[in-house]
Amino acid sequence: MISTTFATKTYKNFINNEWVNASSGNTIQSINPADKEPVGYVQSSTEKDLNKAVAAAHKAKRDWRRLGQSARGQILFKTANILEENLDEIAETMTREMGKTLPEAKGETARGVAILRYYAGEGMRKDGDVIPSSDKDALMFTKRSPLGVVGIITPWNFPVAIPIWKLAPALVYGNSIVWKPATEGAVTAAKVMECFTKAGFPEGVVNFITGKGSIIGQGLIDHPLLNAITFTGSESVGQSVAKSASARGIKYQLEMGGKNPVIVTKDANIDQAVEAVISGGFRSSGQKCTASSRVVVESSVYDEFKQKLVKAAAKITVGNGLQEGIWMGPCASESQFKTVTEYIEKGKQE
């Protein structure tokens, strides 16, 4: 059921187990791309706020590590249950904030629940091995150890699933975290963080901070107390992350843009190929690094494929993702819309 009223509120940062305003006193408005109405407000944080978040995570990392993997997994199980209880609200927020259709948003949030439960289960799995030794009096073994403070920078196109598949493994393996979400999905992210805060993580283990990428994102990347960073986003920023992390010798993980072809051969099932291209290219309005961005078709089936593809694309209904029967929602922002239309014009010219 879609709510007829939607509370527009200001969401704070979560630092050292407290919801706090940014020291700047400023906020950033999140806009519904379907109707240009405000969805909510998040903090426009400063370097001072970031330093507090990282310091809290740094202070918490030792006790969190000592808690034990099983106990950490139990807290993630609790988080999964809370997220599941709030699935509809979070999914609706996602649709309002970045335009993804409500069925897609519910599916993504449910996937977030599944990811949390999977990594909660990791709490009961081994964290090392005993290795045979040629010396009968020697004990040789390996043991996985947490890195420490992990910085997490996430995009707006999957504002629930992508953060959780970074947050959950980092936490269950004993790291404390500082999470900076993309502004276009920050209200949704704040609602996800509320689920984490209600699960009972110890003081300083999970920290959430919003703001401009040039200030908070770059500041997190360069922070001297950071032990590892995971990033999903543009190639240019990813290169900056790699450069900074490698220079300091810390671990880093990057997930950046893709250029994904669908190859249709002459013996392919054309109807299935069309369905795959439509789903891969237009779901989430094509705003995915895994989106089908080009199709390579053998010449003998090109005309048939093109006719069926055009016919299928013409049936796509576009509109407010909260409405029933809408197949594709709006682009997440005006700038994203301009990027898409520029590529369309480029395609026509080529």
Query: What is the residue whose two structure tokens read 């810390």?
Result: 250
Identity of the amino acid at 163: P
Q: Which residues of 59-98 are buried (b: 16+ CB within 10 A; e: fewer)?
A: bbbeebbeeebeebbbbbebbbbbbbebbeebbbbbbbbb
Residues 6+ apart with CB under 8 A from 115: 161, 164, 165, 168
Active site residue 37: no
Where helices occur in 180-298 by DSSP H, the ranges are: 186-198, 218-222, 235-248, 270-282
Q: State the DSSP string of 105-146.
A: HHHHHHHHHHHHHHHHHGGGS--EEEE--SSTT--EEEE---
Six-digit token string for 124:
């009961």
Of 97, 255, 324, 334, which residue is the catalytic one?
A: 255
Active site residue 255: yes
Does an H or E element contain 267, and which?
none
Of 289, 298, 304, 324, which residue is the catalytic one?
A: 289
Tell me the catalytic residues: 255, 289
